[in-house]
Amino acid sequence: MTWIMEMVKMYRSGLIGVAAFVLLGGALYTYTAPAAPAAKPAPVAGPASAPREVPRNMAQVQWSFAPVVKRVAPAVVNVYSRSTVQTAVNPFFNDPFFQRFFGIGPQSQRRVQQSLGSGVIVRADGLILTNNHVIQGGTDIVVSLSDKREFKAKVQLADPRTDLALLKIDTRGERLPIVEFGNSDSLAVGDVVLAIGDPFGVGQTVTMGIVSALARANSDATNAQFFIQTDAAINPGNSGGALVTIDGKLAGINTSIVSPSGGNVGIGFAIPSNLARRVVEGAASGGIRFPWIGADGQPVTAEIAGALKLARPQGVLLKTVYPGGPAAQVGLKTGDVIAAVDGVDVDDMQALNYRVSTRKAGDTVKAKVVSDGRWREVMLRLALPPESPRRATTTIGGRNPLTGARVENLSPAVAIDLQMNLFSKGVVIRSAGESFAAQYGFQPGDIIRSVNGRGVGSVDQLKGALEGTRHWDMVIDRAGRRLSLRVDG
């Protein structure tokens, strides 16, 4: 009783708080006098014998993610890609003018280049999702499972627009574990996520973090790349691995980091699973083709919001509307604002492109728009971008600066493939490879504007302008920059 009275006095005088009072009181209450020695207790089984199960509520999840990892980790693989690249022995010898003067060919040597990444098994017959940049240019791709077995892999689909690729391995009928797709649109900032992959080639590694931000986009407004940001440790080698939720569903494909040192600083990015699912579905139907709304735009700034009498900066201001496209068909025009798609806010073209890319041609989406100062909702029926004019894909032959280049007529469909301005016109270089055109510095995406003063509007016009002369004055458009090239043959 003396101890109890002393505690009461200390509590009333403010020397201890409520928590200490309860703690001390509880300890006093549970104290008993020492009893007679009891029989020696039986040995207690170690932690390894304790049963484990998948968490069924948040309280259980807070204790351990081991059950989730145990189920998901076998479906995350390592991807090794090997490619052979040409490197110049001496750049001087590769100058086209030097080669013509001395009559020699390019001087180079071959070098084997390897890349390491991760992948996620998304179909039990051996279909694996990874990043395009992990396998790009690879001629020998090997997949290593979590049980150390290795398989040669074939590329089923490679899409630089989304930086996603699909690999297939021959399992000879064996069913492999998979990671189920989750709904990345249901993620919220603060949700706990796990990143699984093979950083720096040290072996499969699991890291934990939260969703730091949603709707991160790169600077290219013409593509559908849209990222989940996380502080779960992501390092080189994690690319293509799984970002999973605490219920073991695929939230995204780990893709890149922001780091001045090359290592993790807590800013990592993953491609949302809803876009990844579209790529997988596209592969099953022979190739992915993204729909469009037939418009291009820019973010609404504070100045634009003031001019349009909007309560705050929001939405995408349409700069160009393609005649006959989905947006034009519902009456949208230059100067209108698209503020939301299917109830989700869109604040830039990347966000708008992403919302469209997760749907299929023929689907209908509900857009919230501001037109002529009035808010309204319109139903947009998505369509494939037109290939008008037709591509007319051609590899340039003969003796001229573009020899070996593959060129096409520009259309909205081609512009989307090359992540260019949707309304570009003319003739574009689709690829140059190791051709003579590449030696002159031509690059994919270059638009040929004129040859010897003659405007170039089609592949046929380009071929005609290149023939019958040994002198070429060319004007090229490269990402909005105007370049000139003069060549005497």
User: Does residue 22 sit in helix, strand or coil?
Assistant: helix
Amino acid (1-letter code) at residue 251: A
CB contact at 8 A, 201 and 237 = yes
Distances in whole angstroms, Cα of residue 478 to Cα of each of 80, 358, 416, 446, 473: 34, 30, 16, 5, 16
Q: Any bridge partners for residue 298, and if so which? A: 317
Q: Any bridge partners for residue 128, and if so which? A: 121, 167
Distance CA 147, CA 178 (A): 14
CB contact at 8 A, 122 and 250 = yes
Question: Which residues have a catalytic role annotated?
Answer: 133, 163, 239
CB contact at 8 A, 291 and 356 = yes
Q: What is the Cα gyration radius of the chain?
A: 30
In the 8-state DSSP scheme, what is residue 41?
P
Pinpoint the alpha helices (H) of 52-204. Answer: 58-61, 66-72, 96-102, 132-135
How long, in residues, is the chain? Answer: 489
Of the candidates 447, 482, 487, 483, which has an alpha carbon nearest to the alpha carbon of residue 466? Answer: 487
CB contact at 8 A, 219 and 228 = no
Distance CA 453, CA 250 (A): 55
Please spell the DSSP secondary structure of 233-274, one letter per residue: ---TT-TT-EEEETTS-EEEEEEEE--SSSS-SS-EEEEEHH
Tokens of 331: 């009456």
Distance CA 359, CA 380 (A): 12
Distance CA 26, CA 312 (A): 56
pLDDT at 193: 96
Domains of the chain listed by start with CATH number? 71-288 (2.40.10.120), 295-381 (2.30.42.10), 394-488 (2.30.42.10)
Distance CA 428, CA 411 (A): 10
As averages over each run of 10 residues, the pLDDT of the chain (489 residues) reads 49 47 40 44 48 70 82 94 61 52 55 78 96 88 93 92 93 95 93 93 91 74 72 91 95 89 85 93 79 93 93 94 94 96 91 90 95 93 93 92 94 86 88 86 93 93 91 91 87
- Residue entry with tokens 């994919």: 444
pLDDT at 104: 54
Tokens of 28: 């006093």
Distance CA 109, CA 85 (A): 8
Question: 466-471 long-range CB contacts below 8 Å, 24 or more apart?
Answer: 466/396, 466/398, 466/400, 466/402, 467/398, 467/400
| b/e 12-45 (16+ beta carbons within 10 angstroms → b) | eeeebeeeeeeebeeeeeeeeeeeeeeeeeeeee
Strand ranges for 8-149 from DSSP E: 76-88, 108-123, 127-131, 140-144
First to last CA, the chain: 110
How crowded is the C-beta side of 335, counted as CA atoms within 13 Å?
A: 7
Helix (H) or strand (E) holding 192: strand 192-197
User: Does residue 379 sit in helix, strand or coil?
Assistant: strand
Distance CA 40, CA 202 (A): 46
Cβ count within 10 A of residue 150:
13
Of the candidates 334, 399, 395, which has an alpha carbon nearest to the alpha carbon of residue 369? Answer: 334
